[in-house]
Copies of this chain bind each other. A is one copy, B any other.
């Protein structure tokens, strides 16, 4: 009927909740696998795979194969800028996601992000490690400092094993959408979560991405990863947990 750029097509591509979640997750600037994106989008892998095929066909994302993984990233900064513009417009119009639904509070408190911890607790862990100088910036993003290596080892992580099986980046920051801040991902993020699950500090809620702390686990977590305020008001002194 009309000609010109197909506004509807590109916007519809972005305007589907699962795909929007995928794109939002990719706004962190990193390439993520199909499985990771499925977890971020809250859909199964098959569904995410289909969505990613459409996004790729629409020129919004680009795939990159690496072994048996398929990583997807946004196709260039141009796409990111458009998404930012849309996010800004949505924010200006007061369109925020998740009027706190029934099971949302628990998800915000702590949840699994693929294989590591996200939500308020995930932010807490990340900030606490960062504030104490256990994590630091590195050329490729994020690295464990020497003090951090000591800390996580004393926490119970087998760092040597993690570094030996170098099939995965040790530290990675993952943008958290309930807080819009980074939390810890990567092999270490996974190991930390696994370890805390093993310690029974918390457990997965069946059929959900939510994580629920036990009362004792909550206390132990708070002690091990105190809020940043406790560390930043005056000085930089680390402390044993």
Write the residues of chain A forming the contact surface with B, with a CB cutoff of 8 angstroms. Answer: 1-17, 19-21, 23-24, 42, 58-60, 78-79, 81-83, 85-98, 101, 104, 107-108, 177-180
A79–B97 alpha-carbon span in the complex (Å): 20
By beta carbon, the residue of chain B nearest A79 is B89
Partner of A24, one of B4, B58, B90, B92: B4
Are B97 and A86 neighbours in the complex by a CB distance under 8 Å? no
Copies in the complex: 2
A125–B98 alpha-carbon span in the complex (Å): 52
A81–B23 alpha-carbon span in the complex (Å): 20
Contacts A98-B2, A104-B1, A178-B2: A90 and B12 contacting too (C-beta < 8 A)?
no
Are A97 and B24 neighbours in the complex by a CB distance under 8 Å? no
Are A90 and B6 neighbours in the complex by a CB distance under 8 Å? yes
A86–B98 alpha-carbon span in the complex (Å): 25
By beta carbon, the residue of chain B nearest A179 is B3
A136–B108 alpha-carbon span in the complex (Å): 60
Are A90 and B20 neighbours in the complex by a CB distance under 8 Å? no
Are B2 and A177 neighbours in the complex by a CB distance under 8 Å? yes
Q: Chain B residues near A96 (CB, 8 Å)?
A: 3-6
Q: How far is the CB of A205 from chain B (nearest CB, A)?
A: 13
Q: Chain B residues near A108 (CB, 8 Å)?
A: 3
By beta carbon, the residue of chain B nearest A24 is B7
Q: Chain B residues near A180 (CB, 8 Å)?
A: 3-4
Are A78 and B90 neighbours in the complex by a CB distance under 8 Å? no
Q: Chain B residues near A82 (CB, 8 Å)?
A: 85-86, 88-89
Contacts A17-B8, A90-B10: A3 and B59 contacting too (C-beta < 8 A)?
no
Are A13 and B10 neighbours in the complex by a CB distance under 8 Å? no
Contacts A89-B79, A108-B3, A178-B2: A12 and B15 contacting too (C-beta < 8 A)?
yes
Q: How far is the CB of A109 from chain B (nearest CB, A)?
A: 13
Q: Chain B residues near A83 (CB, 8 Å)?
A: 7
Are B90 and A5 neighbours in the complex by a CB distance under 8 Å? yes
19 additional A-B residue pairs with CB within 8 Å, beyond A3-B179, A11-B11, A78-B92: A1-B97, A2-B21, A2-B98, A3-B97, A3-B108, A4-B24, A4-B96, A4-B97, A4-B177, A7-B86, A7-B90, A8-B97, A9-B90, A10-B89, A10-B93, A13-B15, A59-B94, A59-B95, A78-B89
A13–B178 alpha-carbon span in the complex (Å): 23
